[in-house]
Structure 1
Amino acid sequence: MIRPSFFSITRLSTPTPTPFLFRAQSKGSNSADAPDRLISAVCYFYPFFDGVQYGKYVVTQFSPIATLIQPLLPAIKAFKSFPFNGFLVFLTLYFVVVRNPNFSRYVRFNTMQAIVLDVLLIFPDLLERSFNPRDGVGLDLMMSLDSTVFLFLLVCLIYGSSSCLLGQVPRLPLVAEAADRQVL
């Protein structure tokens, strides 16, 4: 008995085009359902919470950014309340989410991007600890570096989370290729 394969089925009629906002996503490998979108969006808060200290100069100089971050302060304080929270969240995300094939590739990829972004925070931390100027040009450079890292994390949080909530795959600079290699 010969069974018709999925690929041999032909359409009898052409589909009518639907507006972009009303287009339903198929349940193929490129789509994400609502729980996957939410889990993926929440993962981008991890590197932001871990690197929020780099925003000390930006937040004091620009009140709109301080207003934007104000609702996140209770969660940031909870995250920073225990010294090993960042490490525990890292282990949980990596071993429970990324290495778990029960989660979709969409969730595992976005979680891995957030983890790689957090791991990259080691470099500005090392620079700040080894080169800790008190004044002058060195302090100006350190303020610029800290502000750049913070703004990059903020943009990654906004872009990554909003893309995930919309069901799109965000590809963050510096981390997307590394995340692709880790997620099978």
Structure 2
Amino acid sequence: MNYMAMSNLLYPLNPTLKPPLLSPFLNSSFAQINFPKKPRNPTTKPRRTHITAQSNGSDSADPPDRLISALCYFYPFFDGIQYGKYVIAQFTPIQALIQPLVPAIRVFKSFPFNGFLVFLTLYFVVVRNPNFSRYVRFNTMQVIVLDVLLIFPDLLERSFNPRDGLGLDLLMSFDSAVFLFLLVCLVYGSSSCLLGQVPRLPIVAEAADRQVL
């Protein structure tokens, strides 16, 4: 695949209690009051800050769940591939990394509403389907939230579109940062799922938790 084909594809984001005081006038044993003591170190359960990967009542995700979850992380990457136009053009290793994905990216970008159709399919067929394990539904919801966040760099790029100078340099840096973030999310998310672990992406993981019951 030559550089021009790649370029055309990318240009189409506790207090202690004091002991009870005994009155000197109350010497009888029955007059002494025993105050309940508050434990100095109460045992409290630690707050859970992670999700346990479970599928069909087991402690680990099943292989099909791992594969489905791993594939979902390609969705936001394909949807935001255009933000990598500057990085891909400058770095040959990234070109070699993206090259095997070009046919799939072409199919994804071949119809303008493919991204929206994939969004609806993932949300209503997977996330809202109790037949899928929580492991799959969480990862799917996480990539959906990540894709929704791509609206913001898209709006920024449409409203701020410099042709040269410092503005263009800032835009190139911003687009490259978005692309690299999507690439890291793809590699981290997919590899974690294939290993049966639960990837928690910054910003989007908490939102995905609230959506998956």
Other-structure match for 1:4 = none
> In structure 2, what residue type is equivalent to 1:122?
I
Contact 2:65–2:135, Cα closer than 8 Å, also in 1: yes
Alpha-carbon shift at residue 31 of structure 1 (Å): 1.6
Q: Distance in 1 between matches of 2:93 and 2:67?
A: 26
Q: Distance in 1 between matches of 2:59 and 2:171?
A: 41
Other-structure match for 1:70 = 99
Alpha-carbon shift at residue 28 of structure 1 (Å): 3.8
Q: Distance in 2 between matches of 1:108 and 1:50?
A: 20
Other-structure match for 1:10 = none
Q: Distance in 2 between matches of 1:105 and 1:85?
A: 26
Other-structure match for 1:119 = 148
1:91 aligns with 2:120: yes
> In structure 2, what residue type is equivalent to 1:36?
D
Other-structure match for 2:209 = 180
Cα-to-partner distance string for 1:15-41 (whole Å, 9 max, x where unaligned): xxxxxxxxxx99645420000000000
Q: Distance in 1 between matches of 2:115 and 2:106?
A: 12
> Structure 1 residues 26 and 178 mapped into 2: Cα distance closer, same or farther (>3 Å)?
closer
Cα-to-partner distance string for 1:58-116 (whole Å, 9 max, x where unaligned): 00111101100000000000000000000000000000000000000000000000000
Other-structure match for 1:19 = none
SS in 1 for 2:60: coil
In the TM superposition, what are the counterparts of 1:159-170 in structure 2 within 5 Å?
Answer: 159-170=188-199
> In structure 2, what residue type is equivalent to 1:135?
D
Other-structure match for 2:9 = none
Q: Distance in 2 between matches of 1:72 and 1:136?
A: 33
Q: Distance in 1 between matches of 2:171 and 2:177?
A: 10
Q: Distance in 2 between matches of 1:105 and 1:118?
A: 20
Q: Distance in 2 between matches of 1:53 and 1:89?
A: 18
Contact 2:55–2:62, Cα closer than 8 Å, also in 1: no
Other-structure match for 1:141 = 170
Count the aligned residue pairs. 160
CA RMSD after TM alignment: 1.3
SS in 2 for 1:100: coil
TM-score of the two chains, using structure 2 as the length reference:
0.73
Q: Distance in 2 between matches of 1:33 and 1:48?
A: 24
TM-score of the two chains, using structure 1 as the length reference:
0.85
Other-structure match for 2:90 = 61
Q: Between Structure 1 and Structure 2, which shows a larger proportion of helix residues?
A: 1
Contact 2:56–2:133, Cα closer than 8 Å, also in 1: no
> In structure 2, what residue type is equivalent to 1:35?
P
Unpaired runs of at least 5, structure 1 = 1-24
SS in 1 for 2:182: helix
1:41 aligns with 2:75: no
Unpaired runs of at least 5, structure 2 = 1-53
> Structure 1 residues 128 and 32 mapped into 2: Cα distance closer, same or farther (>3 Å)?
same
Contact 2:134–2:212, Cα closer than 8 Å, also in 1: yes
- Residue from 61, 64, 72 that aligns with 1:32: 61
